[in-house]
Every structure is written in structure tokens, then in C-alpha cells.
């Protein structure tokens, strides 16, 4: 089990578009294992590679009903129905806001061995696919909030202990490490 430090809001990797995976090798399989271990340790529903400092298009998920991973993911919205529900992010601890997402998507990509994967997703799994794919494009869920909620979220972030301290990496024990924008506690 390899639990990796989680990058927090303010770390530039969270705002960069991740690169396509071109090598389906042992290192990719280790990345999927590390993402899964870290997500499970933090009690998350999904986790994208940039959240552990790796700029590759890979994410893992476990909604309780479905678990897996997707490499070089894409999705297509199915229908016009939307869902609004609570969403949070392991890279923005302590924040949960109702976020609008498509109710259903069709996800596709590859598994860690390079085999094509395609599945239909709705409700929580659809939310997870959209949230994690956003991470791979440098988009955070707070970017999807209405203006008033986004302003409130940014105020909460700016007032948080981890942000005030300049912490952009949180290790598995919850302790912060200084990132490129600040000092450690």
C-alpha cells in the first residue's frame, strides 16, 4: 500500500491540463494502485493523478456501487437532465457545495493495460466522472459554482488554516508541507 501526499488548492499542477498517457506499463499500474490507496485512505469517491502530483490523464473511482479507473478519459453527456448535489474535493479540504452536473454521461478511455473501456454512468458515478475529468483539464469543482457560491467558497479557502499557512501538499497523516507558495507550519 502506497499512500501519496495530496496536492491542495494553490498547487499549480491542479490548474494544468494533464498529458495523455502513451505508455501502458508497470509505472502506470503503480500510479493506479497509488491513486486507489490514497483515495481509500482519504475516504474519497474519486481521485485524479494531478492530485498526487502526477500530470497524467488518469483517475480512479469508488462510489460504493462501482469502482475502477480510467486512463485518457473522455465523456459525452447523455440527455439534458441535470443534477444538483453536494460535491467536495480532497484537494480542497472541508469544502462542500451543491454543484450542477449532467445526470448521465457515457465515459470512455482505457484501462491500465491499454484495453478500451466504455460505460454508462448516472447520478454519483456520472458526477465523479465529470469531476475527475475536470481535474485532468485543470478545472476544480469551485469553478462550476454559481458566482455567489464561488465567492463564498474562495473566502472559506482563504480563511482556512492550510491556505493561510501556505500549505499545498497534505501527507497521509493530515500534516502539511510547504508548497511553492508558502511556508510550512
Q: Which of the residues are catalytic?
A: 132
Q: How far is CA 28 from the centre of its chain?
A: 17
Cα separation, 78 vs 65, in Å, equals 20
Answer whether 35's CB lies under 8 Å from 58's CB.
yes
Give strand pairing partners of 101. Answer: 83
Q: Are strands 167-170 and 92-102 parallel, antiparallel or unpaired?
A: unpaired
Kindly state the cell numbers that stand for 33: 494502485
Rounded to an integer, what distance in angstroms lies between the CA atom of residue 54 and that of residue 42?
18
Q: Distance (Å, rounded) from C-alpha 168 to C-alpha 158?
A: 13
Q: Residue 64 gets which letter from DSSP?
A: S
Amino acid at each position: 500500500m502506497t499512500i501519496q501526499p495530496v496536492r491542495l488548492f494553490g498547487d499549480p499542477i491542479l490548474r494544468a491540463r494533464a498529458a495523455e498517457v502513451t505508455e501502458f506499463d508497470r509505472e502506470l499500474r503503480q500510479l493506479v494502485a497509488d491513486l486507489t490507496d490514497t483515495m481509500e485512505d482519504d475516504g474519497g469517491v474519486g481521485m485524479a493523478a494531478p492530485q498526487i502530483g502526477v500530470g497524467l490523464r488518469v483517475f480512479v473511482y469508488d462510489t460504493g456501487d462501482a469502482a475502477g479507473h480510467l486512463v485518457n478519459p473522455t465523456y459525452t453527456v447523455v440527455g439534458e437532465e441535470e443534477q444538483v448535489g453536494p460535491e467536495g474535493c480532497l484537494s480542497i479540504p472541508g469544502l462542500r457545495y451543491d454543484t450542477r452536473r449532467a445526470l448521465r454521461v457515457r465515459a470512455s478511455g482505457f484501462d491500465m493495460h491499454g484495453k478500451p473501456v466504455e460505460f454508462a454512468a448516472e447520478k454519483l458515478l456520472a458526477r465523479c466522472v465529470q469531476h475527475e475529468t475536470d481535474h485532468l483539464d485543470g478545472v476544480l469543482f469551485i469553478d462550476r459554482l454559481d458566482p455567489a457560491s464561488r465567492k463564498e467558497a474562495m473566502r472559506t479557502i482563504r480563511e482556512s488554516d492550510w491556505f493561510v499557512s501556505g500549505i499545498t501538499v497534505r501527507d497521509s497523516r493530515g500534516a502539511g508541507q510547504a508548497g511553492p507558495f508558502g511556508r510550512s507550519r
